[in-house]
Amino acid sequence: MSEKTRKIELEFDDYQEIEFGSRSHNISFEDVTIVIPTLNEEEAISLVLKDIQTQGYSNILVVDGNSTDKTLDIARQHRINVVQQKGRGKTGAIITALDYIRTPYFVLIDGDHTYGASDIENLFYFIDDNKEVIGSRTKGRDNISTLNRFGNWLINKSFNLVYGTKLTDVCSGLYLLNTDFARSIPFRTEGFDVEVEIAAYASYFGNITETPINFYQRLGTQKLHPFRDGFKIMNSIFNIGFSLYPSRVLSLMAILLILPGLFLLSYPFFISVFSFQLSSILIGLIMIVTAIQGVTLYIVDTKIRKISKRSNGNHV
């Protein structure tokens, strides 16, 4: 099988080479339900639905989170399934959708017209070997604010450290899921952190990958609050990570001790030889030793999980 390498543009013009297979897929459009969570998307929803229908998809489900504008009326004009969301946030929309999905796969796409329906089929090529395929926003990154790009970079780095992945866009709003896998997720999140929750369980119970897609300017009012939602996402990464990979998270916490350890170890010498404090030196040494042990534990844990995953083919 021939392979081709594509350059994936990362935040701040950094680049990483990722291998993508050139192959055909065995998924028909009838095997996939397109799920669109909405909340006051009257400016965009008609364009989103026209785009999807033009591509030939017929299984379309809009899950509305109690919109107060004309989103519901506009969606119903397109003769597709429209249901009211149960529960809170984007997680509630996904849980509600799972009650209606009758296909082996489903795609979740935001209803703000930031994603193109022409990119959906690109996800199909990789679902046979993965629980989730994420559309990585590599073209049109100028439509993401600098603050959000930095936040995404930090979130991706943190997620990869905890879960041992190599993702570049874990918070993307376009992704393909195996329906049976999605139904097995014990959802605990409520908002935009649902993306990292899904990705966490996809990496734990099987494999997860991504493929390049386009990203367009948003229509309507942005729902994401960078600081509040960014904190929630980071919190979910480590909380879920601790339940799935406790040794890995503890090792990362231990590694963080190296900075205060170095400070306590060196600080007395910078003040004065007469200000030398033996207790500070001892505490600093303990922190540094603990950090070294954390590094060792992290490396060993990573190696063991890779071996286990190769041998078992799935859950590790």
Q: What is the pLDDT of residues 105-133, one digit of tens each?
A: 999 999 999 999 999 999 999 999 999 99
Is pLDDT at 298 greater than 90 in this prediction? Answer: no
Q: Are 68 and 217 within one domain?
A: yes
Q: Are strands 32-38 and 60-64 parallel, antiparallel or unpaired?
A: parallel
Average pLDDT, the chain: 85
**Domain, as residue range, for 145:** 3-244
Tokens of 298: 């992290």
Q: Amino acid letter at 287?
A: M
Confidence tier at 144 by pLDDT (50, 70, 90): very high
Q: Can you give the pLDDT at residue 23? A: 52
Give me the sign of the Cα torsion angle 262, 265, 271, 273. Answer: negative
Of 188, 222, 244, the position where a domain reaches its end is 244
Strands lying side by side in the sheet with 174-178: 81-84, 60-64, 32-38, 105-109, 174-178, 132-139, 208-214
CA distance 76 to 183: 27
Q: Are 155 and 286 within one domain?
A: no
CA distance 132 to 128: 10
Q: Are 146 and 81 within one domain?
A: yes
Q: Are 114 and 208 within one domain?
A: yes
Q: Can you give the pLDDT at residue 308? A: 67
CA distance 83 to 224: 23
Q: Are 251 and 226 within one domain?
A: no
Provide the domain count of the chain.
2
CA distance 94 to 96: 5
What pTM was estimated for this model as a whole? 0.80
Q: Are 226 and 258 within one domain?
A: no
Looking at per-residue confidence, does 294 or 3 come out higher? 294
Q: Can you give the pLDDT at residue 290? A: 77
Contacts of 212 (CB under 8 A, 6+ apart): 6, 8, 122, 135, 136, 138, 139
